[in-house]
Structure 1
Amino acid sequence: MTVSVLVPSSIAREAEDKREATRKLGYVARAATIFRADRLIVFPDGDGETGRFDGGFVETVLRYAATPPYLKTEAWGKRDELEYVGVLPPLRASSRTGSESNGSGSLRRGIVTEVGPEGRVRVNCGLQHPISLNVPPKMVVDEGERVTVRISSRRPVRAKLVDEPLAGLSIERTDLSAALGREDAGVRIASSRYGEELTTGRLETLAGRVERDGMTVAFGAPERGLPDILGIEESRAGASSSGDGGTADGVEPSGDPGFDLWLNTVPNQGSEVVRTEEAMFATLACLSLRA
């Protein structure tokens, strides 16, 4: 089961300064991490960007937030976009595969700090010092590249490079339609106050589909929800989904890139505005319940 979370490049559009924008993105990354999302995807919303905090800024801060603490300095150095990363809340991601474990056979993320002769490289993987490792046959690595290291012993250090990905949150930047069109997209959900209200009865059916097929959930931006971003009338967004995941009238709303349903997970909201990061916590909490 794969879980993908989609946010627009305009997500920080209302932030007054870089510190506030950075903090907001930190809570976006926190929400995706808490509910074990596999991918956090930034999709373009050029019309909604303010110019200061565009998609490049959003992607960079999210990538930094998702980088293990022991690799942050090595991987990023100093960049203008990262001026206020000190306000980011720590993700403290728990491992699904032992990737952050200290035990024998654990997998860890590393970064290549030096490429040497005879197929050897030095890798920083969070141990006291970078370690020298052999590069497996048919595997090519360059300086600065992220790699996976399997540690079999710490005293003495015994480790090797492995050509396999680590489970955990990855940050991507791609078109909304491309993200929805993936084979592992699962149930494709648009989160919107104009969608169908989520009830306990509906959740029981939906939770079974999500647990079986996975899900892709898209969110809007401040003062610019998904209907605005996609150019869909608010009334059509609310009417675009039926109980079985198809369209209520058999006609896909103009501009809809292919959602299975539009869902309102904060019905009867008490605030005029639900921020994107708040909507993420509310929506992913409901959809993470087991059938």
Structure 2
Amino acid sequence: LYPKLDELRYAGVMAPLKIPSHMPMINPKKIQSGDIRDGVIFFLKGKKFVDVGIDFAVPYFGKLQSGNRVTIQFKKGYPDFEIKEITKENIPKYWGYKVKERKNLSEFLSSWDGNIILTSRKGKSITETSLENFFDQKQLLVVFGSPQRGLYDLLGPNIKNIQNSKTLNFFPQQATETVRLEEALLGTLSILNIMRLGYI
């Protein structure tokens, strides 16, 4: 969990994304067997419980300590709640992302087991056929430059030697020198999703 930080003073101003993991507070009687929720563990009278946003202290018998975040699935509903811990890999729905840090981009790309899309204004403009058979593999990595340096600056001549990769421009005829990273993320992933689903 994040502590109180000045950088996060405006967090919560906008409405939640309402992805599956952003569950609203509901009446505990509406919880059913199989429901999945994120929660926070807390102590109450010497025992551990988990707060999953249902205004009910659900007993927790796992190893995690107070203050930790946990994802649980209900084995039994109201009033005899019984839960089990699960991982994101066991959830059939999108349940948020993970953040990992890599020190060397070139080494990371060389070790990637799957196809790679490198985004750059110097790449070929995206077309309907640019990514034929590119979604077949389980893992697809989409790489963006930083606000200060594009991928050609970051990778240098090695950009042409990256296996299973395509360098594509998702914003042809852009009238700016660079596209903001947050805009590039939204635009590129939207285009890829449409192509992946076969709408174009």
Q: Same fold (TM over 0.5)?
A: yes
Which position in structure 1 is the counterpart of 2:154?
229
Which position in structure 2 is the counterpart of 1:111?
40
Aligned match of 2:48 in 121, 132, 141?
A: 121
Letter in 1 for 2:185: M
Q: Which segments of 5 or more consecutive residues in structure 1 lack a partner in the other structure?
A: 1-74, 241-251
- Mapped pair 1:218 → 2:143: yes
CA RMSD of aligned residues (A): 3.1
Aligned match of 1:134 in 61, 75, 78?
A: 61
Q: Partners of 1:93 and 1:178 in 2: how far apart?
A: 33
Which position in structure 2 is the counterpart of 1:283?
188
Q: Percent identity?
A: 29
Q: Closer, same or farther in 2 for the Cα pair 1:213/1:132, shift >3 Å?
A: closer
Which position in structure 2 is the counterpart of 1:202?
130
Which position in structure 2 is the counterpart of 1:144?
67
Superposed displacement of residue 199, structure 1: 1.4
Deviations, residues 251-276 of structure 1 (Å, cap 9, x unaligned): x2xxx6x6722111112224443211
Q: Which segments of 5 or more consecutive residues in structure 2 lack a partner in the other structure?
A: 25-30
TM-score norm. by structure 1 comes to 0.53
Aligned match of 1:162 in 73, 82, 85?
A: 85
Does the 8 A contact of 1:107 with 1:148 survive in 2?
yes
Which position in structure 1 is the counterpart of 2:16?
90
Which position in structure 2 is the counterpart of 1:192?
120
Does the 8 A contact of 1:197 with 1:265 survive in 2?
yes
How many residue pairs get aligned? The number is 183
Q: Comparing both chains, which one has the higher relative contact order based on Cα–Cα distances under 8 Å and sequence gaps of 6 or more?
A: 1
Structure with larger Rg: 2
Which position in structure 2 is the counterpart of 1:78?
4
Superposed displacement of residue 281, structure 1: 2.0
